[in-house]
Amino acid sequence: MLLRRASQSRYSSILCRVVAVTAISGSLLFGTTETRANWSVELVLRKAEKRYGRLNPAKDRLLAWSNLIERSRQLPEREKLEAVNRFFNHLVRFSDDSSLWAQADYWATPVETLIKGAGDCEDFSLAKYFTLLQLGVAEEKLGITYAKVLEFDQAHMVLSYYPLPTADPLLLDNLTDSIRHASERGDLQLLYAFDVKGLYAVRTEGLKRTGDAQRLPRWQALQAKMRREGFSLDKG
């Protein structure tokens, strides 16, 4: 679970659960291969309609997502970040997994999040991650990142954007529409990150590889669900 956006009462809810990540060691590494985010939005929408029926307003949210992708393809990269962060923050409401899925911890696909119109910190971050990949943002620039809200010593998840491997990352956060550098977020401590290739420890000099993403079974299960939904997640 995770705190909802600050405008609704700053840090007033329970935060998302963090998975256990161990063996934090390794050398600075960014992968050179990228996920081919060339999946067909039309195919994903067709499969969603076949599975869930002609849903409204769920279908409206899926179509709005398709429109976001179409109109944002040619934007400068920073504007893509802003458009995607704002889209999900405004369209999706915060809700914890126990309320949405009757489970303690459930990682929803972007389609599931949009069907529900709700999600927790993990769902916001994952939806933004895969949408930005589809918009052509290189995978090595993005890290799905576990953090801690210092005031409450509680877990949180954000999406980090590294324009360069050693850059101070920009954070896409469901708590705020404002995309700021990590160094400007004194309320957060970044801990670990992951992508389709690996696990990383967050350091001031960049991300340090600590292990393989296979160690996150929910991450693997999420990608399997997405492939069934029509997403192409093959690495090039």
Domain for residue 234, yes or no? no
Q: Which amino acid is at 93?
A: R
Task: Give the domain range for residue 33.
Answer: 6-228
Domain for residue 1, yes or no? no
SS3 81: helix
What pLDDT, on the 0 to 100 scale, is given for residue 122?
Answer: 96
> Residue 201 — φ and ψ, nearest 5°?
-95, 140
Domain for residue 92, yes or no? yes
Domain for residue 104, yes or no? yes
Domain for residue 233, yes or no? no
User: pLDDT higher for 86 or 231?
Assistant: 86
Domain for residue 118, yes or no? yes
CATH code (residue 109): 3.10.620.30
pLDDT in tens, 141-169: 999 999 999 999 999 999 999 999 999 99
Rounded-to-integer distance, Cα 208 and Cα 162, Å: 13
Alpha-carbon torsion 180, 4, 202, 111, what sign? Answer: negative
Q: What is the pTM of this model?
A: 0.83
SS3 51: helix
Number of domains forming the structure of the chain: 1
Domain for residue 235, yes or no? no
**Distance from CA of residue 96 to its chain's centroid?**
16
Rounded-to-integer distance, Cα 62 and Cα 32, Å: 31
Contact (CB, 8 A) for 108 and 128 = no
What pLDDT, on the 0 to 100 scale, is given for residue 56?
Answer: 78
Helix H, strand E, coil C: the string for 95-129 is CCHHHHHCCCCCCCCHHHHHHHCEECHHHHHHHHH
The position carrying tokens 């914890």 is 96
Query: CA–CA distance from 8 to each of 83, 174, 177 (Å)?
Result: 21, 11, 13
The helix or strand, by DSSP H or E, that contains position 189, with its residue range, turns out to be strand 188-194
Domain for residue 44, yes or no? yes
Bridge partner list, 145: 158, 193
Query: Does residue 20 register a pLDDT over 50?
Result: no
